[in-house]
Amino acid sequence: MDLAKFERQAGLATSAIFINYKQRDDLRWCLQQLEWLPEDIATTLFVDYLSRYKRNERSANIWLRTRCETMHKILKRFPVPLFHMSTETRRAALAREWADRCQLLLHQMTDYGHKQVDAKALISAVRQPADQWGICPALPSFEDYEARKAAGEFERDPSFYNAVLGAVCRLTDDKWWTRQLERMFRRYQEHAAIVVGKVRSGVSPYVSNKSLRDYKARKQIAQAWLNGNFVINRDHDLEMLLADAVATSVANPQNRRNELMVRMRGFEEYAKDNDYVGEFYTWTAPSRFHSYVKSKKGTSHANKRYQGASPRVTQRYLCHQWAKCRAALARNEVKFFGFRVVEPHHDGTPHWHLLLFVKPEQLRLLRSIMRRYALQHDKAELAPPKGHRGRNFQGYRPRFDFKTIDPERGSATGYIAKYIAKNIDGAYVADDFEAESSGIHGAEGVAAWASLWGLRQFQQIGGPSVTAWRELRRIREPLNSEDILETIRRTADNADWQRFIETMGGACLPRALRPVKLMKAIDEAANQYGEDITRLRGVMSATLGAITRIEGWEISRQGLGQTDGSAVAFESGDSRAAWSSDNNCTRGSKTPEKDQRLIAELKKLGVEACDLALLRQGAVINSEGSLIRLRRSGQTGAEMLIVSRATDAAEENNADFHDLDAITEAEQRQYIATERQRLRREAWKLMEEHQDGDIEDWINNQSSIELSQLAIEQLTDVLELERIETAMHNKRQRQQTQQQYWEDVEDYADF
C-alpha cells in the first residue's frame, strides 16, 4: 500500500509531520517496515506510529520496529501467503490441497496399499505437510520404539498401531484440515489484534471486538441449532428438545457456577474440620508475555519487553512451571488440594488464581516452592534500578502474590467466588475493574477469550472425581443400603461435597484407591477414523455397579411422534448460516405450505411474517445483530434463508455486507461454472444428434431464465466452434487437394 493510501486511511497529511530530511528518511523506513504486512495491520500500525512519532520520534521507531518484527514472526508460521486463507472458500481449498499432499505421500510410501511400511517411518513421512503448519494429530509415544517393537509389544497390544492409523486418517482428511486451518486463522487474527493494540483496556479488553462478535454469532447459531433438534431414544420411547437437555447440564453457566460454589464450600468445610489452612495465590507470567501494561494512572501503554507470545503460549509456559512445582511438592511430600482459576489480563495474557488448602506445618514450604518456580525466569525485571527503591516497592509480588485466609475476616469461598462468577456469567459482579466495564460484559469477553484460545478456566486440584459425583447424582432410586456405593450416592444426591470427600477416602487419596470408580464401555472402530470410542456407562464399587446412562440416544430433527419434519436443516460457519425451508407446518391453511415454513423460520429469528415479501424483493433485514436475506436456488427454485453477522458501527456493517457479498459471489461463480460445464456437454450431445426439436425443448425446460440464457450461450459457442472446425476441416482438405495436384504435376513433368 502506497503513502497516499496510508494518508487516506489515517486522515492525516504526513508532510505536516515529516518535515526535515531525517524525518522524511524515517517515513521511508516506516513504509519499508510495513511493506510486507497485511493491509489492515499495516494501516493500524501506521496510524499508531504517527501519533507516537509526534510525541517522541525515537521511541516511535523502536515501537514500530519491534511490532513489525513480531508480525513477521507470526506470518512466517504460515507456509503459504496469508491472502490464500482470507476467505472460508480459500481455506477449504487449502485444506483439500494439503490433505491430498498427505494422501500422495501415503500412496508413495505404501505403493497404493501393496507394501507394508514401518509405522514410525510412515507417520514421519505422511505428517511432513502438517509439520510445515506446525500442526499434528495426537500421536502415541515413540520412546524406545525399536526395543518395544523388537519385544513384540505392538503385536500383543494393537493400540499403538491403531493410534498411528488414526493420525494418518486425520492427516489425509480434508475436514480435519479445514478445522485446523479455521482455528489457526481465527487465532492469527486475534494474535495480530493483540500485537497492534486492539486488545487492551480502553479499546477492547480480553478479546478484540471482531472476535467477541464472532463468538456471540456462533453462540446464537448454536442455540438456534439446539432449538431445532431433538435428542431421542426409540428403544425407551424418550425424547427431549436438545436445548432443554443442554440447559439442565453443566453447560448451562448458572448450573456450572452453582456446582463450582458447592464444591468450593465443601472443600472449605472439609479443610476446617481436618485442620487445614487456606491460602490464596496469584501467579502471573513474566513481562515479556504482556503486550500492553497499565500505568499507575490506569492507562494502558505498549510494553517494550513484549516478545510476541500469544495467550496460548503464555498458558503453556505457566502449565510447564506448575508441572515442575507439583513435582517438587511431591518430592517433599506436601499434601494440598483446592481450585485453580485462569483468567485474562486486559491485554489477553492469562494469569492464575489458586486457592489451596494445606497443613499449617507445610504452609511455608508450599509457598516457598511455588514462589521459586513463579520467579524462576526474568527475575531481574522485578528489581528496581539501584538507588531507586521507593516505599511502595513490592519485590516479587507483581509476579507472585499470596494471602493467607483469615476466617475472622472472610471465608475461603468468598475469596474465590468473585473470580468464579466473573469468568462464567458475571452474576453478582457489579463492575469488572480490569476491563473497566460491567460484570456481565466482562464475562462475555472472558468466555470468548477462553473459547478462542482453547484454555481451561477452572480446574480442581486434588479431591475425588467430579465426574463420579455427577454420575451418582443421576441415580434417583436407592441402591443396596449395605454397600459403600449407596452411602456415597446419598452424599452426592444431597449436594454435600464435604461428606462426599470423606466417604470417598479424603481429599488427598490417589484416584486409583477411591472406593467408587467410573464404569466405561468401549465401542470398537466407532468413529470416522476407525478408532475405538470410550463411553461412560455408570459407576461401580468393589461389589456393586450402577448403570447411569442408557444407550440408544441420537440427535434428530424430528420428534418421535412427528413424521414430516419439525426442525430446520442447519449448516453453520464463521460467516453464514444456511437454513432450509423443510420444517413442520400446519396443514389445510390458506397460506401456501412453502410460505408457512419460511414464516416459521423467520419467527425463530425474530422477524415478522410480513417481512417475507421484503426478503423476496431482495431486502436484507437486521434482527438482533444478524443479517437475514433470502436466496433462491437457480436450479431447483428452492428458497433458503441466509444468516450472517451484523456489527454495531455503520462502517463495520458495510464490511460485513462486503464479506457476505464475497461469499455469495464465490458460491455463485462456482455454481455457474458447474452449470456451464453441464450445459456445454449437453449442447455437444444435442449437436451430434442433429435434432432441432430437442434443442428447443432443452432450452425451454431449464429451471430458470438465467439457466436458459446460459444454455443459449453454450449452444452458440458450440455452433461457433463447430463452424470453425468445419471451416478448418475444409481448408485442410483444399490444401491436401492442392498439394496432391502439384505432386501429380511434378510427376508428369518428370515423366
Tell how far CA 660 is from the center of its chain: 21
Residue 292 is predicted with a pLDDT of 94
Joined together, the cell numbers standing for residue 714 give 453454450
Joined together, the cell numbers standing for residue 370 give 511455588
Residue 85: helix, strand or coil by DSSP? Answer: helix
- Digit-coded pLDDT (tens) for 716-733: 777 777 777 777 777 777
291 has pLDDT over 90: yes
Residue 692 is predicted with a pLDDT of 52
Burial of 446 (0-12, 13-18, 19+ CB in 10 A): buried
- Digit-coded pLDDT (tens) for 119-128: 999 999 999 9
Q: Which residues pair with 622 in a beta bridge?
A: 627
- Digit-coded pLDDT (tens) for 227-268: 888 999 888 888 889 999 999 999 999 999 999 999 999 999
Residue 397 is predicted with a pLDDT of 84
462 has pLDDT over 90: yes
pTM to 2 decimal places: 0.74
User: What percent of the chain shows pLDDT beyond 90?
Assistant: 48
- Contacts of 502-510 with C-beta under 8 Å, sequence gap 24+, read 502/270, 504/464, 504/468, 505/464, 507/267, 507/270, 507/271, 507/274, 507/337, 507/357, 507/462, 507/463, 508/335, 508/336, 508/337, 508/462, 509/464
DSSP string of 364-429, one letter each residue: HHHHHHHHHHHTSS-GGGGSPPTT---TT--TTTTTEEEEE--TTT--HHHHHHHHHHHTTT-TT-
- Among 52-56, 372-376, 520-524, 741-745, the minimum mean pLDDT is found in 741-745
How far apart (Å, rounded) are the C-alpha atoms in residues 407 and 409?
Answer: 5
Please list the active-site residues.
Answer: 415, 419
**pLDDT band at residue 569 using 50, 70 and 90 as cut-offs:** very low
CA dist 77 → 73, 86, 134, 573 (Å): 7, 15, 8, 24
Residue 266: helix, strand or coil by DSSP? Answer: helix
How far apart (Å, rounded) are the C-alpha atoms in residues 127 and 168?
Answer: 8
Name the residue type at position 726. Answer: T
How far apart (Å, rounded) are the C-alpha atoms in residues 501 and 266?
Answer: 8
Name the residue type at position 256. Answer: R
Please give the residue that has the higher pLDDT: either 147 or 418. 147
748 has pLDDT over 60: no
Residue that has been written with the C-alpha cell 484407591 in this structure = 513
CA dist 536 → 39, 466, 488, 489, 553 (Å): 50, 14, 19, 17, 13
Continuous segment of H or E residues that includes residue 350:
strand 350-358
Residue 610 is predicted with a pLDDT of 66
How far apart (Å, rounded) are the C-alpha atoms in residues 336 and 551?
Answer: 39
